Structure 1
Amino acid sequence: MQLTIKHCTRYQYARAIMLQPHRLIITPRDSGELFTVRRSLECVPPAEISWSADVFGNLIATATFAEPTRELTITSEAVVEHTAPEWPIFAISPDAHSYPFAYSLDDVVDLGALAQPDWLTPDPQRVGAWARGFVSALQTDSLSLLKDLNAGVLGDVRYRVRDEEGTQSPASTLELGSGSCRDIAALFIEAARHLGFGARAVSGYLFDPDQKDEDAGSTHAWAEVYLPGAGWIAFDPSNQRVGGSQLVPVAFARFNRQIMPVTGGYIGTPEDFEQMDVSVSVRASALSTQTHT
């Protein structure tokens, strides 16, 4: 399936200000199930754009501006070939079928902090206790446990649109009983780590075939869990889905805050900032949606 992705972020200011460099993580990341056909990145006012990779191998664009402006528009467009199956079969190593299991020494070292709960977050014990409530028996199926956790998050947490910056702590999400996709993903990730799994945060885009043209859309956040043999498996607790069939990853990290799509600042006062608008569309090409009779 071929998808066209357009991501536009627009900032407006009360007066002309000088923009500081902006860090952009908005370019789809290629994999065995995703191939970028073409892409473009444009800033208004014009910017000098340099490319680099972070410690996770994510593609980072840094935009540097030379002239003052009252408005900043960042537009990323990409066409990708997406081949993730809707009903994936995961070739999990026999040693990891039954939970609990032990990662190999190499996996333990390489996963590192991705398999460790964040003990500095508020009330980590509450998240751990909540996570262990999904373990139904001393010996249970590893993938089934993760599917139960993925499906069960929305039993205790209601999805809501949240425009505030940042991610709630997992304990706060449980306490409030609601959160955005990034809050729900962060809760799932922390719960998986408390259960001994290696897990990472993913930012990207969600393909919704029912999205209307007038719907501005948004970026999306989900999780991946590492199971030996199968590798990194996508879990989207906000939509109770497993696998990457409707997901277009952009970046992976230990926490959501490390892969915010657009970060940057300006020289001026807080009152200079007026508003920010974000619109995202992910559309299948006409060729991808045709059927034969």
Structure 2
Amino acid sequence: MGIIFEIKHTTTYNYARPVTFGTHRAMFLPRRGAGGRLLSWSAGTNLRSRIRWISDSLSNNIAEIEIEEPGSELIFTFQFRGIHFGAKDVKQFVLERRAERMPVQYTPDEWNDLAGFMRPHTEDPDLALAEWARSFVVDGKTIRALEQMLDAFRDGFNYQAREAEGTLAPAQTLHARSGTCRDYAWLMIEALRRLGFAARFVSGYIYDAALDGGEIGMAGSGATHAWVQVFLPGAGWMNYDPTNHINAGFDLIPVALARHPAQAVPLAGSWLGSSEDNLGMSVRVEVHKLGDVADQSEG
């Protein structure tokens, strides 16, 4: 099954007096691929601006936005419609035998392609992260270890949103046992890499059916979201969301893929003025289901 969805993503910056702006970079368009299709999109600002598109080394779509006039309020509005296909559970996929147990046996070609996603990016001086990762290696079964890691976030961590930008180091998140979706994803990625998995950071959106019904939604809904992809031979890149205990990821709409979180910032830029002029920012993300579509098939 798939869904037709619409997303509106609005970011507002406020200043005490007019300031000037440098180039801003936005990552908001879903990635093209077998899992989805982009139907329409628009991007704009309340101030006069010019937009040009570039692609980074991981084939992420980036909008570079030049703000051409000063202002005390800067609003970015990104809106698009698309079709998203996904699987409800990772067990719908069949792993190759070499992926069923840890460490996963990647082929030489896979090693060459995946090396950047297998090599740890952060320090672990007291080995706390490595020891935490090894605690999930009980019977050696790959899927079981991944499920236990998701369980650990659900049962032992406290999701806590914060206004400050950036992502905590995995050691900080592990010690605090709390964090945002980006913190959780980064901790899980670095733990998996220490177990020999190829894992990458994903930024995007989460569709939450509860919000369409006016109910309380999942953590991370109503904003940009972050999760993990793990490469498992036979299944490929599989989604794992430690924030909401989701695997496979039918509800997850990817925008940017990265080796580390700093490569997948939804919106970043600069401004020139006094530090006291900054009155803060607000983000609003609306994700709505417009209808259902049947499975993709050849015909």
Question: TM-score category by the smaller chain?
Answer: over 0.9
What secondary structure sits across from 2:161 in the alignment?
A: coil
Question: Among residues 269, 284, 288, which one is paired with 1:279 in the alignment?
Answer: 284
Aligned residue number for residue 83 of structure 2? 81
Residue 141 (structure 2) pairs with residue 145 (structure 1): no
Residue 243 (structure 2) pairs with residue 238 (structure 1): yes
Aligned residue number for residue 292 of structure 2? 288
Q: Cα distance 1:265–1:213, how it changes in 2: closer, same or farther (>3 A)?
A: farther
Deviation at 1:267, TM superposition (A): 1.2
Question: Among residues 35, 38, 41, which one is paired with 1:39 in the alignment?
Answer: 41
Deviation track 1:110-146 (CA, whole Å, cap 9, x = no partner) reads 112210122x435461111001001103xx2212221
Aligned residue number for residue 48 of structure 1? 50
Aligned residue runs from structure 1 range 100-115, under 5 A: 100-115=103-118
Aligned residue runs from structure 1 range 150-229, under 5 A: 150-211=150-211, 212=214, 217-229=222-234
- C-alpha distance in 2 between matches for 1:262 and 1:101: 35
Residue 89 (structure 2) pairs with residue 91 (structure 1): no
The CA RMSD measured in Å over matched residues stands at 1.8
Confirm or deny: 8 A CA contact 1:28 1:78 kept in the other structure.
no
TM-score, normalized by length of structure 2? 0.91
Deviation track 1:57-86 (CA, whole Å, cap 9, x = no partner) reads 100000002111111110111111111122
Amino acid at match of 1:288: D
Deviation at 1:283, TM superposition (A): 0.6
Amino acid at match of 1:83: F
Which 10-residue stretch deviates more, 200-209 or 25-34?
25-34
Structure 1 alignment gaps of length 5 or more = none
Which 10-residue stretch deviates more, 242-251 or 145-154?
145-154
What secondary structure sits across from 2:250 in the alignment?
A: coil
TM-score, normalized by length of structure 1? 0.92
Confirm or deny: 8 A CA contact 1:218 1:279 kept in the other structure.
yes
Aligned residue runs from structure 1 range 247-262, under 5 A: 247-262=252-267
What secondary structure sits across from 1:210 in the alignment?
A: helix
Amino acid at match of 1:21: T
- C-alpha distance in 2 between matches for 1:117 and 1:155: 25
Confirm or deny: 8 A CA contact 1:153 1:188 kept in the other structure.
no
What secondary structure sits across from 1:283 in the alignment?
A: strand
Amino acid at match of 1:204: G
Amino acid at match of 1:234: N
Deviation at 1:164, TM superposition (A): 1.3
Confirm or deny: 8 A CA contact 2:104 2:197 kept in the other structure.
no
Deviation track 1:188-207 (CA, whole Å, cap 9, x = no partner) reads 11111010000000000111
Deviation track 1:172-193 (CA, whole Å, cap 9, x = no partner) reads 1111111111111111111110
Q: Cα distance 1:156–1:124, how it changes in 2: closer, same or farther (>3 A)?
A: farther
Deviation track 1:1-53 (CA, whole Å, cap 9, x = no partner) reads 11111100011111111110000011111221111111111111121101011
- C-alpha distance in 2 between matches for 1:150 and 1:103: 23
